[in-house]
Amino acid sequence: MARGRSQVIDQKPLVLDANILIRGAYGMQVRRLIREYANLVSLYTAEICFDDARRHISRLAALRGAAATPGLDFLDEMSQIVQRVPNTAFAAHELTARSRIGVRDPDDWPVLAAALQLDCPLWTEDFDFFGCGVATWNTHNVEIYLRGD
């Protein structure tokens, strides 16, 4: 299933937003898609997304009165599949990303900058990314991209 941090260069890339990692911690659809297509697509996320997801998973677990361990275990699994893109790798795209995301959610600029750097689409459930100049896929239809249809 997991290919670790190595990647096949000619695999098509896809950047994941933190909300996809969070959904994967609690839902089966995201888990299935990542596990099924991890060897066919190179998955990336901005470095900050794992920290954001970890924080949100812990908060959501506390609100639900549940243990955060299963969700955090999923993140650990994803850290072997989804490659972190360090801020330094997409720093050249910061101003463009900030101007495109604007006031909608200025904290999301690293995710957009990573997609711009990699010249690839973004998998998100956050409507703030729509209209930012990169293709965006939601969980409902991302399998079209993953399959190569």
How confident is the model at residue 102, as a pLDDT? 85
Q: What is the pLDDT along the chain (149 residues), one digit of tens a residue?
A: 334 444 444 689 999 999 999 999 988 999 999 999 999 999 999 999 999 999 999 999 999 888 889 999 999 999 999 999 998 999 999 999 999 998 888 889 999 999 999 999 999 999 989 999 999 999 999 999 999 88
Question: What confidence score (pLDDT) does residue 7 get?
Answer: 43
Residue 69's CB: how many other CB atoms inside 10 A? 10
111-129 residue pLDDT tens: 999 999 999 999 999 998 9
Instruction: Give the pLDDT of residue 17.
Output: 97
pLDDT at 8: 42
Domain segments of the chain: what residues? 12-147
CB 137 within 8 A of CB 114: no
Q: Which CATH code fits 12-147?
A: 3.40.50.1010
The whole-model pTM stands at 0.88
